[in-house]
Structures are given as C-alpha cells and as structure tokens.
Structure 1
C-alpha cells in the first residue's frame, strides 16, 4: 500500500535500512565530513578518559546516525510526494566498529493547517542489542 497522509495513523512505523559499522565506514565518514577528530580514528587516544567517560575505543560520528535517519525519512516520504522538513536528534550511546544499527520511526501525530498537512514522527536508532543509540523527532510535510 502506498503511504498517503490520509492512511497514516498514530503508532504507524517506518523502518530504515540496517547499517554495519566498521573502521572503514567510520573513516569514509571522516573523509566525507572532513571531521578527523581522534575520537573516530585514534585507538591510542581513545584509551584515555574524557572526564567521567571512557569509550574504550574509537566511536562512530553521531552525525552518521542523523544521516541514517534522514535516509529513512526521505526513502519513506519522497515516493508519497512528501518532504522531510525538520529533524532533531540526541546521541544516547556510542556506536563502535562491529555494531549494526537501524533507524526506525513511529508516527506521533498528524496536523492539518491552512497551507499544508504535517506528520510528527518519533525517531530512533537502535543497535544489534536493541539499545537506543540516538533518539529524536522529525517533521514531514504532505503538501495539499
């Protein structure tokens, strides 16, 4: 069934693709984002503590979660003629090489305004253990 504003209901889910995190995928994101922070590249540097936090090794860029959520929303919205308009995320848990992560969304509410129709979506990314690594909220517009 094709997604339309009319057939969406609270609690409907959106599933994004799984993503296998590797040292190579982290390095590629460094190259694409020009962010070469040692958090993502330097095992020796990551043996240390950061205040009260010790990650125990390199971690994936948090913005990679953002990108996966954006892909999920665009893959879902674009075929329906909808437009991904807003996304806010929070990083909850570090993601490391060897993790497999997947974004999901849950329709929270719908609203009709004079100019458009809006869907508010709770979004999250979970790892292979079902733990949330990122959470947030997105807004998608279904133009009149």
Structure 2
C-alpha cells in the first residue's frame, strides 16, 4: 500500500537523500517503496537542534535517513547517557527509543525521540523562573 502525502504550497519533503519541493499549489503524492521519508516540519538540522533532546532526535534522524544504525551510534549513546544523567525520569522514553533502534524500526525510534523533545519541553515549562523567595525576604515587612 502506498503512502499518501499531501504537500502545501512550497512545502518540502525528504525522500531518501532527495529533497522534493512542492510548487505553488497543494499536491498529493503516493509513494511506494521503503526509502526514508520525512516532512519538512519533522527535519532537524545542526542549527535547529538546540536542546539535548533535539540533538538526540537529530542523531536518530541521521540513522533513519542513512538507513544505517552505525552512522550515529556513538554520538547517539553519548547524548543519551548525558540526557539520562540530567533527566533520569526520561528512562521510559529512552528505553523505547533504544528498543526501536535495536529492532531496526528507525522511523518509530524517530517518533519516540519526538516524544522525548516534548517531555523535555514540558519539564522546561515547569521550571520556576526568578529567584526563590527566602525567609529573610519577609523580615522588615
């Protein structure tokens, strides 16, 4: 069964090692085969991988595009180990990514890595800002 992809005007699509850019109107494509496929919105670059989880996603993305786990294995595991040290509560998502990579399901690993980005963002959204209120602040009131 073919994968159906609808592209907005100007939207890009990665198929294998090729970038396809849509013209000025909506387009529907049907793609048969097993080449890696990513929409523009799902592609990260070195410049856009600005957080630890995004760098993990980028490492998985490179494995997926190259269809070769060895491409980024060292980088990936270095990033994962650092991330787990900083965020041990992410172990469940990290285990999922690892299992998908080990079974060769790199697209599923990429989706799990996207959940890691969301998890990281959720943690960052709940970090208190400003300086903490200290008991000494209440003196003199």
Task: Report the TM-score, using the length of structure 2 for normalisation.
Answer: 0.27
Structure scoring higher RCO (CA < 8 A, sep ≥ 6) equals 1
Question: Structure 1 or 2: larger strand share?
Answer: 1
Task: Report the TM-score, using the length of structure 1 for normalisation.
Answer: 0.27
Query: Which has the greater radius of gyration?
Result: 2
Question: Structure 1 or 2: larger helix share?
Answer: 2
